[in-house]
Amino acid sequence: MKVRSTQAIMECLLEQEVDTVFGYPGGTILNLYDELYNYKDKIHHILTAHEQGAAHAADGYARSTGKVGVCFATSGPGATNLTTGIATAYMDSSPVVFITCNVAEPLLGKDSFQEVDITGIAMPITKATYLVRDPATIPDVIRQAFAVAATGRPGPVLIDFLKNVTAPDQMIEYEFVHWRENRGCSSIRSLAHTHELKAPEPNSDDIDILVDMIGQAQKPLVICGGGVVRGRADKQFMEFARKLDAPVAITLMGGGGFPGSHELATGMIGMHGSRASNVAANQCDLLIAVGCRFSDRVALNPATFASQAKIVHIDIDRSEIDKNVLTDHHIVGNARHVLELLNQRLTQQEHAAWKDEILSLKRDTVVEECDQLTPKQVLETIRQLVPENSIVATDVGQHQMWSIQHFHFEYPGQLLTSGGFGTMGFGLGAAIGAKVGNPDKVVIHTTGDGCFRMNCHELCTVEHYDLPVITVIFNNGCLGMVRQWQNLIYNQRFSETTLDRGPDFVKLAEAYGLNGYRVTNRTEMEQALTAALASGKGCVIDAVIDTDDMVRPMVPGGAHITNFLLE
Amino acid sequence: MKQTISVLVENQAGVLNRITGLFSRRAFNIESLAVGPTDDPTISRITIIVDSGNNMVDQVEKQLNKLVDVIKVRTLEENNLIGRELMILKVNATNKTRQDIMTICSIYGAKVDDISPSSMTLELSDTPERLDTFQTMMRPFSILEVVRTGVIAVQKGSGKI
Ligand SMILES: Cc1ncc(C[n+]2csc(CCOP(=O)(O)OP(=O)(O)O)c2C)c(N)n1
Ligand SMILES: [Mg+2]
């Protein structure tokens, strides 16, 4: 069947069951938006205030729903505005297909108006980029792009269409093929063959070796990493942890992969890890890491990390094996599948003494009773008032660590946080994407006064689309996380981290047509949140807290994992 | 230690960029790089020589394997490969020195491509080490220009990538 090339693009999105796109139009992408006008009943477009917000929203949508996110932007500045969002998705293995349009073929390479080599720029921050110059290749490219984004270790992909490729008179041959069938089409099949697009099949002997190693271990520890979340392997992980009868440490990205409230959970591991998790890593004789890449924020000092243990690494990405930490054994494969095989072969273990040793280090959070509002009071109020399955999107800084330490995430996609790239400004976009993808859930956005300023213009998106995202600003009047380092390591030389400036966040919220509340004690916080939840509208709660509160515990970067600078 | 990595890639715009970017991004230094088509015009072969530890080469191999345009990656066994490089070298030559230069050329099996009253242009295809020593031998005559292609290599025997 002959169709317009832009029609083929829309149909290809429908093949992938895409019903939501985040984006921002402009000159070169006009043809695509013109076609979108025909498809507006099938493909719902969310116009953000800024392309970065659209990128984070598509990312947050992907993380929270497990589907592939889609984001449109125009050439030049539209495309470059995406880059922070693309890198954020890449570092956290979030599947997003970014679609940009470039100048027309005759203008390419001439420094034409709004021309930029976005496929070149995006190369190191994507799994693949495609520059489409031939309209006939559109279906193949889009199908491949989605397959690459969603399979193996997920991640972002960018497609750049030249404007002439999308011209209304470009007709191409096109047949609708549902994605379940098109994953078998020839171009993707050859890809699948050579690149293990699908998850590599775990080696059966490798599983047996691990079962043996477990049999010999007295003090095993499991780490739940982001791979458990991305691979939606939470059920299999739970069964494994129970059978292994061992403590479970959770990385920042692993939040939601294993219930934080479970008795075996020892909390976060690494720089701001709990004493229980970090001591366990140091004392264990077998460390099994599932879908975690031993980043410098987790392993801290690779040379001394888990030095008494045999380290076993389960990961879908072969290149992660032995990259940061040398391992004694590894299994390459999808977390869910590997754990299923393991669970079949593993008999019930028992490690009562070791569990006692580690789990006794767990400390219940004590929420201070005082007049001045504290981060824990804010978080505890949220925990008590919102439904248990609420989604939490954070920004980056102290409030991020406090949020993750305090909340117990119960399922994959419940926590949205920029772990790998640490992108300030991620939270509001991600919260918007999550709310669009999960209209039935309450979405809380915890942020800092610094981060919020970076993308607060997305409040207009919250208001316009009537997305009841609740933003809670941990307003400490400073770039708290940086100030914490200055406090501890730079002799209190507070260079450029004081945020004694506007705007008034309550008035700002109101200017965007939303409710704003300023709260300075626990009662006010409770009242504001109750009102916010009841209003069913987006709102901003400006929670004023002390400037010098710190994230505890803390192990400095590169130090041994139990060398706590702060307890 | 020098290692030779042979990579088959889709012959597509931007592929070389992706591959070299992967090296520079991880601060891996490329010693030599040669690219050309294979028997199948849709596939190119890239031969890369790096000088570094095993661990790093292992990591490079895995990273290369992840690229969508990369079809196959293989690190060639150093003591079991045929590696060749082509050099074109222009050297000062006068009536006095021309004969000496010719003698060295015949020892190395180098060809004379061009000759002028004051210069000679020589061509030699051999292992990079032999090219190095040939270059050393030519230095006393004053080298005007050296162009080398970078090494291409295959594994000995009937095996292929
Ligand atoms: C885009 C970006 N710029 C700079 C940083 C460095 N950085 C990390 S945390 C932080 C402070 C964040 O301040 P705020 O949002 O107020 O959060 P707080 O730590 O006070 O809770 C900064 C500047 C970053 N992560 N991202
Ligand atoms: Mg702050």
- Asked if the model's pLDDT at residue A365 lies above 70, the reply is yes
Quote the CA–CA distance of A262 and A273 in Å, as a whole number.
Answer: 17
> Do residues A514 and A459 lie in contact, with contact meaning Cβ atoms separated by under 8 Å?
yes
In order, the DSSP letters of chain B are -EEEEEEEEE--TTHHHHHHHHHHHTTPPEEEEEEEE-SSTTEEEEEEEEES-HHHHHHHHHHHHHSTTEEEEEEEPGGGEEEEEEEEEEEE--TTTHHHHHHHHHHHTPEEEEEETTEEEEEEEE-HHHHHHHHHHHGGG-EEEEEE---EEEESSS---
Say yes or no: B53 contacts chain A, CB-CB below 8 A. no
pLDDT value, residue B53? 76
Provide CATH 3.30.70.260 ranges for chain B. Answer: 2-76
Inform me whether the pLDDT recorded for A366 exceeds 80.
Answer: yes
Per-residue confidence band for A195, with pLDDT thresholds at 50, 70 and 90: low
* pLDDT(A191) > 80: no
- The strand pair at B43-51 and B30-37 is best described as antiparallel
Would you say the C-alpha torsion A374, A361, A418, A381 has a positive or negative sign? Answer: negative
SS3 A311: strand
Asked whether the predicted pLDDT for residue A38 surpasses 80, the reply is yes
The bridge status of strand A220-224 relative to strand A515-519 is: unpaired
- Over the stretch A430-456, which tens digit does the pLDDT of each residue have? 999 999 999 999 999 999 999 999 999
Residue A213's pLDDT is 98
Q: For A83-111, give one letter per residue: b (16+ CB within 10 A) or e.
A: bbbbbbbbbbbbbbbbbbbbbbeebbeee
pTM of the entire structure? 0.95
The closest of A96, A187, A180 to A137, measured between CA atoms, is A187
Distance CA A129, CA A114 (A): 19
Residues 6+ apart with CB under 8 A from A208: A345
Model confidence at A411, pLDDT cuts 50, 70, 90, reads very high
Output the pLDDT for position B28.
83
pLDDT of residue A194: 61
Does residue A113 surpass a pLDDT of 80?
yes
To the nearest whole angstrom, how far is the Cα of B125 from the nearest Cα of chain A? 34
- Yes or no: say if A443 and A389 are a contact pair by the CB < 8 Å rule: no
Q: How far is B36 from chain A (nearest CA, A)?
A: 21
DSSP state of A508: H
| Under 8 Å between Cβ of B100 and B53 | no
Cβ–ligand 1 contact at A476 (below 6 Å): yes
Q: Which of B13, B25, B68 sits opposite A128 (nearest CB)?
A: B68
Percent of chain A with pLDDT strictly greater than 70: 97
* Residue positions counted in chain B: 161
**Contact between A144 and A186 (Cβ < 8 Å):** no
Q: How far away, in angstroms, is A396 Cα from ligand 1 center?
A: 6
A 101-130 near B (Cβ less than 8 A): 119-120, 123-124, 127-129
**What was the pLDDT predicted at A311?**
98
The token pair that represents B27 in the structure block: 């601060």
Please answer whether residues A278 and A269 qualify as being in contact, where contact means their C-beta atoms are separated by less than 8 angstroms.
yes
Question: What is the model's pLDDT at position B68?
Answer: 86
User: Around Cβ A560, how many Cβ atoms within 10 Å?
Assistant: 16
Q: Identify the residue whose tokens are 């260079």.
A: A495
Residue A1 pLDDT: 92
The 3-state secondary structure of A115-131 reads CCCHHHHHHHHCCEEEE
Residue A399 in contact with ligand 1 by CB distance below 6 A: yes
Question: What is the architecture of the domain spanning B2-76?
Answer: 2-Layer Sandwich (3.30)
What is the total residue count of chain A?
567
d(CA A11, CA A2) in angstroms, rounded, equals 13
pLDDT in tens, A159-172: 999 999 999 999 99
Residue B27 burial (10 A CB sphere; 0-12, 13-18, 19+): exposed
**Chain A residues inside the 8 Å CB shell of B56:** none
Residue B50's beta-bridge partner residues?
A: B3, B30
DSSP code at position A361: T
Complete edge-to-edge strand list for the sheet that includes strand B70-76: B30-37, B43-51, B2-10, B70-76
Average pLDDT value for chain B: 92
pLDDT tens-digit series, residues A217-245: 999 999 999 999 999 999 999 999 999 99
- Average confidence (pLDDT) over A204-216: 97
Flag the least confident range among A123-132, A473-482, A515-524, B17-26: B17-26
Q: Is residue A275 within 8 Å of A564, Cβ to Cβ?
A: yes
pLDDT at B12: 82
At A324 the three-state DSSP class reads coil
The atom number, within ligand 1, closest to the CA of A499 reads: 16
Scored b (16 or more CB within 10 A) or e, A264-278 reads bbbbbbbbbbbbbbb
User: Testing the interface with B: which of A151, A189, A319 to mutate, by most B Cβ within 10 A?
Assistant: A319
Q: Strands B43-51, B2-10: parallel, antiparallel or unpaired by DSSP? A: antiparallel
d(CA A436, CA A432): 6
Average pLDDT, chain A: 96
- In chain B, which residues fall in CATH 3.30.70.1150? 82-153
CB-based contact, A149 to chain B, within 8 Å? no
**What is the full per-residue pLDDT of chain B (161 aa) written as tens digits?**
889 999 999 888 788 988 998 888 888 889 999 999 999 999 999 999 998 777 788 888 999 988 888 989 999 988 899 999 999 999 999 999 999 999 999 999 999 999 999 999 999 999 999 999 999 999 999 999 999 999 999 999 998 88
ipTM of the complex: 0.86
> B68 to chain A: which residues are within 8 Å by CB?
127-128, 144, 148, 191, 195
Backbone conformation region of residue A518, classed left if phi is above 0, alpha if psi is from -120 to 50, else beta: beta
Are A129 and B71 in contact (CB < 8 Å)? no
Whether A459 and A466 have beta carbons less than 8 Å apart is answered as no
* Two structure tokens written together for A80: 């470059």
pLDDT of residue A186: 67
Q: What is the pLDDT of residues A286-302, one digit of tens each?
A: 999 999 999 999 999 99
**In the structure encoding, which two tokens stand for residue A378, read together?**
């804010």
User: Rounded to a whole number, what is the distance in Å from the CA of A358 to chain B's nearest CA?
Assistant: 34
The CA distances from residue A78 to A384, A421, A458, A461, A552, in Å, are: 41, 21, 16, 17, 40
**DSSP three-state, residue A543:** strand
Residues in contact with A439: Cβ distance below 8 Å, sequence separation at least 6, in sequence order: none
CATH topology of domain B82-153: Alpha-Beta Plaits (3.30.70)
Domains in chain A and their CATH numbers? 2-193 (3.40.50.970), 204-359 (3.40.50.1220), 375-544 (3.40.50.970)
CB-CB contact of A461 with A49 (8 Å): yes
Q: Could you read off the pLDDT of B106-130 as tens digits, one per residue?
A: 999 999 999 999 999 999 999 999 9
pLDDT interval class at A85 (50, 70, 90): very high
| Residue A144, helix vs strand vs coil | helix
Residue A467: phi and psi, rounded to 5, are -105, 110
What's the confidence (pLDDT) of residue A187?
Answer: 67
**Residues A70, A98: Cα–Cα separation, whole Å:** 6
B17 touching chain A per CB within 8 A: yes
CA distances from A388 to A239, A382, A408, A542 (A): 22, 10, 9, 23
Helix (H, G, I), strand (E, B) or coil at A323: coil
- The answer to whether the bond into A95 is cis (omega within 30° of 0) is no
Cα three-residue angle A533-A534-A539, rounded to 5 degrees: 50
Q: Verify whether the Cβ–Cβ distance A195 to B25 is below 8 Å.
A: no
Query: How big is the CA angle at A246 (ends A417 and A254), to the nearest 5 degrees?
Result: 10
Q: Which residues between 194 and 233 in chain A have a beta carbon less than 8 angstroms from any beta carbon of chain B?
A: 194-195
